[in-house]
Structures are given as C-alpha cells and as structure tokens.
Amino acid sequence: MSNVVVLDNGGGLIKAGQGGERDPAVVIPNCLYRPLTSKKFLHPTTTTEEDLTSAAIRRPIDRGYLINPDLQRDIWSHLFNSLLHVSPSSSSLLLTEPLFSLPSIQRSTDELIFEDFGFNSLFVADSPSLVHLYESSRRPDSLLSEAQCSLVVDCGFSFTHVAPVFQNCTLNYGVKRIDLGGKALTNYLKELVSYRSINVMDETFLMDDVKEKLCFVSLDVETDLQIARKQGKDNLFRCTYVLPDGVTHKKGYVEDPEAAQRHLRASPSAAMEPNKEAYQLETIAKTEERKRVDLTKNEFDLMNERFLVPEMIFQPADLGMNEAGLAECIVRAVNACHPYLRPVLYQSIILTGGSTLFPRFAERLQKDLRPLVPHEYQVKITTQNDPILDVWRGGSLLVSSPNFESTCVTKAEYEEHGSARCRRRYFH
C-alpha cells in the first residue's frame, strides 16, 4: 500500500515516517514548550538548539491518555505539514494507541484523523503487537517466531505494561500495568536533587538528560548504598553534572564522563574492601564539604540518586505506592494465561520502551524474576537494539504486508457506521 504514514504517538516522543522505511523520518517530543526568551509556545524540531532552561511545557497526553485534542491537533498539523510534508487527504495512517483506551478518547482520536485532517483510511495498533511482529521478523529461527508467542514488557513514558502476545494479537485479559514510567522517574529525580542540592523542579528537559546519562539499575541495592556513603575516590557513584550557563553552553553535561562509568567496571567485592585511611579521614572530609557548600554554584553532585530512581520500577512499595514490582507483575501476567503458554512466555520476554535503556536493567530483572518462576521453566530476556524506535519499525513492517489495506477503516466507513462500530475491526 503506497503513501501510508506510520505514527507512533507516545506520551513523551512522536515517531513518524513513511511506511516501509527502516527508520522514522521524524522523532520529536510530543509537546509544546516556551523558553524564557519567548512569549509564546513553540513547536519542537528535530534540531532544537535553544536554551531550554526552565522552559514551560504543555503536553496533550497525560498518564498515557489523550486529554487535550486541540493541542494534539496543533502538534500533528505541524508534523504533517512542516516536517513530513504529506497530504493527509491522499494518505492512510497507522496509529499506535495505549492499551485499554477509553471509548470517549477513541472517538476524539477518530474525529481528529477523519474530520480534521481527512485521512483516507486508518489502522489502530497497540505497541506490544508491533514489537512482537518486529522481533519475529528480525529473528525468524527463534522460539518467539516459531511459537508466535511472546511477553512484551513496555516501560514507556507514562506507565509500564506487561502484555502477553499470541499470534500477533495482544491477550488483553493477561495484560498487567504499573503506573510508573519515564515521567515519574524524572519527577522523582527532580525531588531528590531539589531537596539535596539546588531547585530543579522546573527543569524537565534538563533532568531528563541527567536521568538518561547518569542513572543505572543496581544489582545489589544494600551494597551500593554502603558504597555511596564513602568519601573521595572510594565512592564509585559520585559524579558532577554541570548546568547550562546560557552563554558558553546551552545544554548541561557530565563533568567527567569517564569517572561516571567507574561503577560499571569495578567489582562489588573490590568496592566494599575497607580502606582504613579513608575511614580515619571521613569526619574531616565531611566537615570540609560542609564548608565548601555554595548555593550559587552552577553544578550539582549525584550519588545514590543514580540507582535509587530506576529502583522505583522494581520496588515501588519502597515509596509507599500500592503497586507490585516489575518481576511480580510479569509472573501475574503469565499466570493469567493458559498453562500451555507459560513456559513459552517465560522464554520469550521482550524489553521495549525508553526506561529499559538503563544499564543492567535486563540483568536485574533476570535476578528478581528467577526466584519467582517455577524451576522447570527457563527464563530468557531479550533486549532490543533500539527500544524507542522498534515499535515504529513494527508498524512500518505491518504496512508492508499484502493484506494491510483490507484491515484499514476507510473514511467512508467511518462516516457511515461511526467510530464505535469501526473500532471492532482492530480486535482490541
């Protein structure tokens, strides 16, 4: 089918491009922003070089669901006309939508697509099925491809879904959700840094960059907390992030990237070896550090915040949230499926979403999951090369299938039958 636009409309990023291509043509934040130097909200571009310090942000999607259709229309209009240069009236659209989207939100989305933009036809897909499709095509000899069954763990911007997929259809009765995603992690990091160093509650873009560059998943939280209490070079986690000054550099950066990666190269046993000299100087070092506190400094240090922030996904109860951790969520999702599917699901776990990019994420999940799984089952976790873009790539692959056109809802069908009846064709 020619001239199909594939649109992965995430809460954090929009990935868009022509169907059949390898990568999306445009990846931009799904928001409008207003820098301090501007009086109006601006559209993000693929090469934004402005100073985004304390920029105000407006998002059309909150907690994964569309809450501001007018704002989404404005963003899509800029996307289609200025970035993709496509004519909606002569194009079809493949759109990704969150699982369990409300009927009222589905109607608003259909109105945007057919009535405001006038697309020829529409196909709505969910992220887990597209990830499964892409992984099956990428590894045709794997168990995942042969059994046509997988368990997709999608750690997105708004929340985390664990979704079993069978024959390219998401099994809705087995889907489990954790109300934690990349946005919640960034907000938690903001609170920690604001309480311990300087106020960064308005620095959304900046703290996103800090999280992506410096945070990692701990394999042993108690041991790492002891290491984080050490002084000087014995503290493998201490690193400095330099804030933008608006003159010489408009974006923040890590002062010593090599030192920030020391924890990945050092063994835990070596890091915990007692250092008598450091222990004797600990009191002096703390006193000197208090004397050197400068509230006007243009940088801040991170220590245990680097692994306590991603820890929320594995232990949300530590923050008082009545939520299961990721490993327990996976077990519940698998147990909701037929017993014949369970061994295959445990061997076909796929990680996708931006939050799975934290170093050691897969290793920690394997460590937490293995004691919860029956010993006769194997556990195999697959990480994607690019978990942010692979949902879009699955959509691009689906567009290339010969029967895609017959599964789409046309504008004429929408006008005749309405949104609710047309939605039944998508099987979710």
Same domain, 104 and 11: yes
CB 165 within 8 A of CB 129: yes
The beta-strand segments (E) located in 358-408 are 381-383
Contact by Cβ (8 Å): 425, 409: yes
Structure tokens at 386: 């690019």
Report if residue 52 sits inside a domain: yes
The long-range contacts involving 415-424, CB below 8 angstroms and separated by at least 24 positions, are 415/114, 419/106, 419/107, 419/110, 419/111, 420/103, 420/106, 420/107, 422/110, 423/106, 423/110, 423/124
Domain that holds residue 342: 132-180+321-383
Task: Let me know if 194 is exposed, middle or buried by CB neighbors in 10 A (0-12, 13-18, 19+).
Answer: middle
Regarding whether 136 and 121 lie in a shared domain, the answer is no
Contact 126, 111 (CB under 8 A): no
Residues 206 and 259 reside in one and the same domain: yes
Contact yes or no for 171/149 (Cβ under 8 A): no
In order, the DSSP letters of 250-262 are SS-EES-HHHHTH
We report the CATH number of the domain holding residue 110 as 3.30.420.40
In a domain, 347, yes or no: yes
Q: Is residue 288 part of a domain?
A: no
Adjacent-strand bridge partners of 42: 33
Burial class (CB in 10 A: 0-12, 13-18, 19+), 198: middle
Q: Is residue 24 part of a domain?
A: yes
Structural contact between residues 352 and 390, judged by C-beta atoms closer than 8 angstroms: yes
Burial 111-142 (b: 16+ CB within 10 A, else e): ebbbeebebbbbbbbbbbbbbbbbbbebeeeb
Q: How far is CA 136 from CA 5, 132, 133, 185, 345, in A?
A: 22, 6, 5, 31, 14
pTM, two decimals, is: 0.88
Q: Are residues 162 and 227 in the same domain?
A: no
Count of CB atoms situated within 10 Å of the CB of 53: 19
pLDDT tens-digit map of 339-379: 999 999 999 999 999 999 999 999 999 999 999 999 999 99
Same domain, 27 and 86: yes
Q: Which one of 314, 345, 373 terminates a domain?
A: 314
Task: Examine the domain organization and report whether 125 and 136 are in the same domain.
Answer: no
Q: Which residues pair with 51 in a beta bridge?
A: none
If one counts the domains in the chain, the total is 3
Backbone angles phi, psi at 191, to 5 degrees: -65, -45
Read off the amino acid at residue 235. N
Say how far apart CA 323 and CA 217 lie, in whole Å: 19
Contact yes or no for 32/15 (Cβ under 8 A)? no
Q: Is residue 276, in this structure, part of any structural domain at all?
A: no
The answer on 201 and 169 residing in a single domain is no
CATH of the domain at 206: 3.90.640.10
Same domain? 36 vs 122: yes
Instruction: Tally Cβ neighbours within 10 Å of residue 24.
Output: 23
Give the pLDDT of the chain (428 residues) as one tens digit per residue: 468 999 999 999 999 999 888 899 999 999 999 888 888 998 887 766 667 778 889 999 988 889 999 999 999 999 999 999 999 989 999 999 988 888 899 899 999 999 999 999 999 999 999 999 999 988 888 888 788 899 999 999 999 999 999 988 899 999 999 999 999 999 999 999 999 888 889 888 899 999 999 999 999 999 988 888 888 777 888 889 988 887 777 788 888 888 778 777 765 544 444 444 443 444 444 444 444 444 456 888 888 999 999 999 999 988 788 888 999 999 999 999 999 999 999 999 999 999 999 999 999 999 999 999 999 999 999 998 889 999 999 999 999 888 888 888 888 888 888 887 777 767 55
Domain annotation covers residue 214: yes
Asked if the structure places residue 283 within a domain, the reply is: no
Among residues 417, 374, 427, 314, the alpha carbon closest in space to that of 107 is found at 417
Q: Domain check: are 109 and 154 in the same one?
A: no
Any domain includes 285: no
What is the C-alpha to C-alpha distance for residues 306 and 240, in angstroms, rounded to an integer? 11
Residue 176 and residue 189 in one domain:
no
Q: Are residues 308 and 356 in the same domain?
A: no
In the beta sheet, which residues pair with residue 151? 164, 349
Residues 217 and 301 both lie in one domain? yes
